[in-house]
Amino acid sequence: MQCPNNHADAIRCNQLLDVAEELIDNQGVVSFRFAQIAKGAGCSTNTLYKYFESKEDVLVCLFLRNTTSSQIPIFIKENPDLTINERSVLAVLFTFEVVKRSPIFNILRVVSINSMFWQLASSDKIEILRNRVNLFWSRIKRPLEDAVISGDLTATDTDIRDLSQALYFFLAGATSSFESKLMDEQYFTSEDVLAYRHVSRLMNHYQWRKPITQEMMQGLSKRICAFLDKGSGKIRSCDTCLAIGKLNDCRQSAI
């Protein structure tokens, strides 16, 4: 199922996704039904099927328009003074702050990247989803590679791959645990200081010219919060998604 190819269709598609997101807020991911979207939007099921083949398509698109990948480049543009150390932890800290503000984003992330789920979506949605997931990985890995090139980090290709995966796995586990609210405090603490400590330990296992400090991460998180609070980060539209969703070169788009 192809995405909208003009602005008018993108507006209509967004309206349908807004209804779907409200249904999820009220009923949960499992309970809401595909046909409810058309009823809530005041349109026919034929209109709904023009944009989505299934509930899986809708959930994938909701995740795509909420991803941090569309917000990070704008933050970087507005903060050109970011150091290489700050850029190296930006994707992790940015995601932490977005999850705090939007529980539905984390729910959609967990559901959408489950292979038993996304394989039921249409082929076009799967292609965009795959590119977006790899784009986010590049936002973690690319700054580490840049740090090696600039001489700020001494690491091999294997080191970079290992560190990238460690950061991503920590991020996925921490955000999922934060949102589930099932673990007792003796097992999981959602305090920012603890997260900074974990990330700094992961990063400083490798040889940086200047260590990755908790104070630096705290300062960067404040800048991210200010960015999100003023509304610049609320970029949730088909137009934005289309602008980055089908980029083939994730390495270039991660800049």
- CA 157 vs. chain centroid, Å, equals 25
**Which pLDDT value is given to residue 100?**
81
Distance in angstroms (rounded) separating the CA atoms of residues 35 and 57? 13
Strand partners, 196: none
Nearest to 10 by CA among 248, 243, 253, 246: 243
Structure confidence by residue, pLDDT tens digits, 18-68: 999 899 888 888 888 999 999 999 999 999 999 999 999 999 998 888 787
Nearest to 64 by CA among 124, 138, 23, 149: 124
* Three-class secondary structure of residue 112 per DSSP: helix
Spell out the alpha helix ranges (H) of the chain: 7-27, 34-41, 45-51, 55-66, 72-78, 84-101, 103-112, 115-118, 123-150, 157-180, 192-204, 214-229, 238-245, 250-253
Asked whether residue 189 carries a pLDDT value surpassing 70, the answer given is no
* Three-class secondary structure of residue 208 per DSSP: strand
Domains belonging to the chain, first-starting first, are 7-56 (1.10.10.60), 61-253 (no CATH)
Q: Which helix (H) or strand (E) holds 201?
A: helix 192-204
Distance in angstroms (rounded) separating the CA atoms of residues 112 and 133? 10
Question: pLDDT higher for 176 or 235?
Answer: 176
**Which pLDDT value is given to residue 234?**
54
Structure confidence by residue, pLDDT tens digits, 104-117: 777 787 788 788 88
**Which pLDDT value is given to residue 250?**
40
Q: How many CB atoms lie within 10 A of CB 158?
A: 8
CB hemisphere CA count around 208 (13 angstroms)? 22
